[in-house]
Amino acid sequence: MQKSAVGIVEPKDFHIKDDLKLKSGKTLSDVSLRYETYGELNKAKTNAILVCHALTGDAHVAGRHNLDEKKPGWWDGLVGPGRALDTDKYFIICSNVLGGCTGSTGPTSINPKTGKEYALDFPVITIEDMVNAQYELVKYLGIDKLFCVIGGSMGGMQTLQWAVSYPEMMHKIVVIATAARSSPQQIAFNEVGRQSIIHDPFWNNGEYYDKENKPDTGLAVARMIAHITYLSNKSMAEKFGRDLQDKEEVSYDFSIDYQVQSYLHHQGETFVERFDANCYLYITKAVDYFDLSENGSLIEGFKGVKASVKLISIDSDWLYPSVQTHEMLTAFQANNVDVSYTELKSPKGHDAFLLEDGPMNFIISTFLSDNAVENLMETIPTISKTAKVKEAAEIMFNEHVTHLPVVSDEGVLIGIVTAWDLSKSIINGCGDLEDVMTKDVHYCKPSDSIEDIASTMKKYDISCLPVVNDDLILEGIITTDQISRLISN
C-alpha cells in the first residue's frame, strides 16, 4: 500500500447554528457539514486554502482514515509536505457539500420534522447554497480571509461562486476543468443520468431507504453515462481498444464482449456502494442551475471579482472544453482581474485534473508561490502619537511585537516605534512617544511583490515595512521573518 504524505486524518462535523436560507427561498434547519483539515492554521490565520470537491467527491481529499483503508483521499498526490497544497505551509480545508451523502446534510439525513430520511422532502439546492454553507464553516474556523479557494469540475463551480459571492474573502482562486454556466449538452447528460434513476423500479419516488431493494441499477447506469464524459476517446482507445473481455471471439448476444463494457459496469457497481441515488439527483440538478452570467453576460457576472485567478483547462476534455475556459478568461480580462490561463496537455480527458499529479502540482504551486504583500502581511496593534513611551512598551511586551506603527485617529500612518527606540528613550530620559518614534517611514502597498519589498528592506537595512493603502491608511505589517519563512517553505 502506497504511503500517504499526510498519514491518518480524522473527519470532523460542523453544525450551523441558524437556519440556512436557500436560493429557492426555502430554509434548512440543523445543517451539518463533514470536513477534514490538513496542516496548521498560522497565528495570523492567513494561510488557509479551501479545496472544493467535484460532483461525487467528498471531504476526504488526502490521507487515510485508518491503516486498513485501501486508497487515500481523492487528491492525495497534491496535498502534503512539498506538494502544491503544502501542509508545512498551508492549512487545507475540504468539506462535503450540502446535499452530499458522506456526512453533510442531504437527502439521506434525518428530517427533524418527521424523524425519517428527507428523501424528496429535501429542498432543491444550488451551488450558491453549497458555498454559503461552506462560508459558515470558514467563519467558524476563525478565518476572515482565505489565502486561496481551489476546485475542479463542480469544485471549480464552487470556486467561481466563492469569488462572486464573497469577493473580499480570498486572495486567489484556482479554477480547473469547469464552466461558469452549464451548457445545454452538460445539462442533457445530467438529465439522462437522473432519468435512469427515476425509472429504476426500486426508486419508489425516492422512498427506498427502509426497503431491501434500492435503485442500484439506475444509479449504476447514471454513473456509467457520466464516466464516459470524464474520459477521452484517445484514453479509452489506449486503455481498451477493441479488446475482448475474457473470451477469444465475440458472443453474438447481449453479454459483455469488450473490455470497455466490463470497465463501465465495474464503475457502476462500485459507485452504488458509496453514493446515494437521491443525492445524485440533487447534486446534478445544482450543476444544471449553475450560471454566473448577469443578463446573459459573464462580463457582468464577474464584475465584482477581486481575487487573482488561475484558470486551467484540459485539451482533451470534451465535457468542459477549453472554449468555456476561454470565455471565462475574456470576461475576467474585461473586468481587469489579475488572471492567467494554462491549458494542460493530456490524453486523459476531464479526469486529468485528478490523474496528472506532476503537471497539476507544478501549475498550482507556481501560481500559489507568486505572492504579493497582501498574502503575507499580518495585522498588529497600533498606537497614537500622543501616547507615552511606557504605553508603547506595555503593548510590545503583552503582544510580543518589536515594531509598533503610530497612526492618527483616522488610521493614517504617521510613524513607527521599535524596541530599539524604546531602549534609546530610557537612555535619553524621554517620556513622550513623539520624541522617539521614527517619522520618516518606508512603507509598501498590499499589491507590491514580495521580491520588490524584500529588495527595499535589504537596501535600507530594515526588518519590517508597514503596509498602507492609497490613502496611507495602515492595513498591516510585513517582516523579514515572514519572508524568510516563505522562502524556506
For residue range 426-469, what is the model confidence (pLDDT) as tens digits?
777 787 888 888 888 999 988 787 878 888 888 888 888 999 99
Is residue 253 in some structural domain? no
* Catalytic residue, candidates 216, 257, 317, 351: 317
Exposed, middle or buried: residue 12 (CB in 10 Å: 0-12, 13-18, 19+)?
Answer: middle
Number of domains making up the chain = 2
Cβ density class 453-462: b for 16+ within 10 Å, e for less: bbeebeeeeb
- Examine the residue annotation and report whether 153 is marked as an active-site residue of this protein: yes
Q: Do residues 462 and 356 share a domain?
A: no
Per-residue pLDDT reduced to its tens digit, 227-274? 999 999 999 999 999 999 998 899 999 999 999 999 999 999 999 999
Query: Which segment of 163-167, 359-363, 365-369 scores lowest on mean pLDDT?
Result: 365-369
| Helix (H) or strand (E) segment spanning residue 285 | helix 277-289
Q: Do residues 310 and 451 share a domain?
A: no
Number of alpha helices (DSSP H) and beta strands (DSSP E) in the chain: 15, 15
Residue 70 confidence class, pLDDT cut points 50, 70, 90:
confident
SS3 36: strand
- Examine the residue annotation and report whether 350 is marked as an active-site residue of this protein: yes
For the CA atoms of 445, 447, 450, 451, what is the dihedral angle to 10 degrees?
-100
- Domain end (from 335, 351, 372): 372
Q: Taking residues 321-326, what's their average pLDDT?
A: 98
Length of the chain: 489
CB 282 within 8 Å of CB 125: yes
- Domain end (from 372, 395, 428): 372
What pLDDT does residue 464 have?
87
Quote the cell numbers at residue 257. Answer: 464482449
Residue 67 confidence class, pLDDT cut points 50, 70, 90:
confident
Per-residue pLDDT reduced to its tens digit, 23-58? 999 999 999 999 999 999 998 898 999 999 999 999
SS3 284: helix
Residue 485 confidence class, pLDDT cut points 50, 70, 90:
low
- Examine the residue annotation and report whether 60 is marked as an active-site residue of this protein: no
If you search the block for the grid coordinates 503575507, which residue do you land on? 376
Per-residue pLDDT reduced to its tens digit, 114-126? 999 999 999 999 9
Q: Do residues 35 and 136 share a domain?
A: yes
Query: Is the pLDDT at 128 greater than 90, yes or no?
Result: yes
What pLDDT does residue 221 have?
98
DSSP state of 213: S
Q: Taking residues 130-148, what's their average pLDDT?
A: 97
Q: Bridge partners of 383?
A: 406
* Catalytic residue, candidates 4, 95, 153, 232: 153
* Catalytic residue, candidates 104, 350, 403, 421: 350
Q: What is the pTM of this model?
A: 0.82
CB 50 within 8 Å of CB 134: yes
Is residue 269 in some structural domain? no
DSSP state of 58: -
- What own/partner pairs with CB < 8 Å and gap ≥ 24 does 115-120 have? 116/209, 116/210, 117/209, 119/206, 119/207, 119/208, 119/209, 119/278, 120/205, 120/206, 120/207, 120/278
Q: Taking residues 210-233, what's their average pLDDT?
A: 97
Q: What is the CATH number of the domain that holds 69?
A: 3.40.50.1820
Residue 1 confidence class, pLDDT cut points 50, 70, 90:
very low
Q: What is the CATH number of the domain that holds 479?
A: 3.10.580.10
